[in-house]
Amino acid sequence: MKIWLDDLRPAPCGFVWCRSVNEAKRTIAENEASQPVELIDCDHDLGDFAADGGAGIKLLDWLLERGTLYPVALHTMNPVGRENMRRMLQRYWSEK
């Protein structure tokens, strides 16, 4: 399973489109046992959908808390958000 976290841009072919962090969490939790998570491609700013779980970095926080450091790519156009997410991935995901 590949997750596309973005409030506006539709998911590329082969990805499950999640518009909020909480929707992505539910999708992962409900399906990871039967469909391994191959990739999570994240946006940072989720517009009106941020009210349902926060910015995209909150999904990384959740993955880290539960110890499921699935492969993550970033497609956010927010330079500050990208850098914060990149640093988090570099610090914790590279240790796995």
- Asked if the model's pLDDT at residue 96 lies above 70, the reply is no
Complete DSSP assignment for 34-92: TS---EEEE-S--GGGGGGT-STHHHHHHHHHHT----EEE----HHHHHHHHHHHHHH
Each residue's pLDDT tens digit, 38-68? 999 999 999 999 999 999 999 999 999 999 9
Q: Is the pTM of this model over 0.85?
A: yes
**Tokens in use for 94?**
């590279």
